[in-house]
Structure 1
């Protein structure tokens, strides 16, 4: 089972305030622990929404609309994520509870979401095989 720990933005993260060295060290230790346990798939921080672009589809079948950031409501914006693969929902919750406060100062908030597996989206065995092969290619792709 794969889960994404979505780190919600704060006013500081949206203003481009970098984490303290202590917080970076704590997050590094946490990510190392995830890696040693064999559950870490990915972990990344995101630039503020002032550098973001949203694509919306206001009319069904119509042309997409491009909107430049920044976006309001920092608490609804994602500042980063950690992707893990675990055996159960309970294990995912345990790992999420161990993450250091992602912003410090008691402002951190993590949303834990399970990722759909191909077999949950369709019963078409050919489609599942294509999705699984694409995912396998993606995980084997070297970083640039």
Structure 2
């Protein structure tokens, strides 16, 4: 079971304020534990939304909107993906996640779909052949 630990953005992260050496040390320690346990899939931080863009579809039309985007609390500053055997194990790992901002902050944990969760067919097999989308 794969889970994404989503680090929510803050005003500081959206302003481009980099985490302190203390935060990086805590994050490295935590992620090393994940790696040694064999559950770490990937982890990274994201640049502020001012360096990004959104593609939206509305009424059959596609549009591209450049950042920055309002409401930092709705944005993502980083993520960690883990692969564990149960929801309980995911909760246990997430409960040990260090405070990513050394201020008021939030993480969100979401289970990721696996290819086996979908109706099987040619398109799902194509994803398997690409090596993406989980088991």
User: Which TM-score band applies after superposition, normalised by the shorter structure?
Assistant: over 0.9
Q: TM-score, normalised by structure 1?
A: 0.87
Distance in 2 separating the partners of 1:99 and 1:71: 26
Partner of 2:56: 56
TM-score (norm 2): 0.93
| Gap runs ≥5 in structure 1 | 140-144
Alignment of 1:1-144 (within 5 A): 1-60=1-60, 62=61, 64-105=62-103, 107-124=104-121, 126-135=122-131
Report which of the two has the higher share of strand. Answer: 2
Give the number of aligned pairs. 134
CA distance in 1 between counterparts of 2:131 and 2:71 reads: 33
- Aligned-residue CA RMSD in angstroms? 1.6
Gaps of 5+ in 2: none
Q: Would you tell me which structure has more helix in proportion to its own residues?
A: 1
In 1, the alpha carbon distance for the partners of 2:85 and 2:128 equals 19
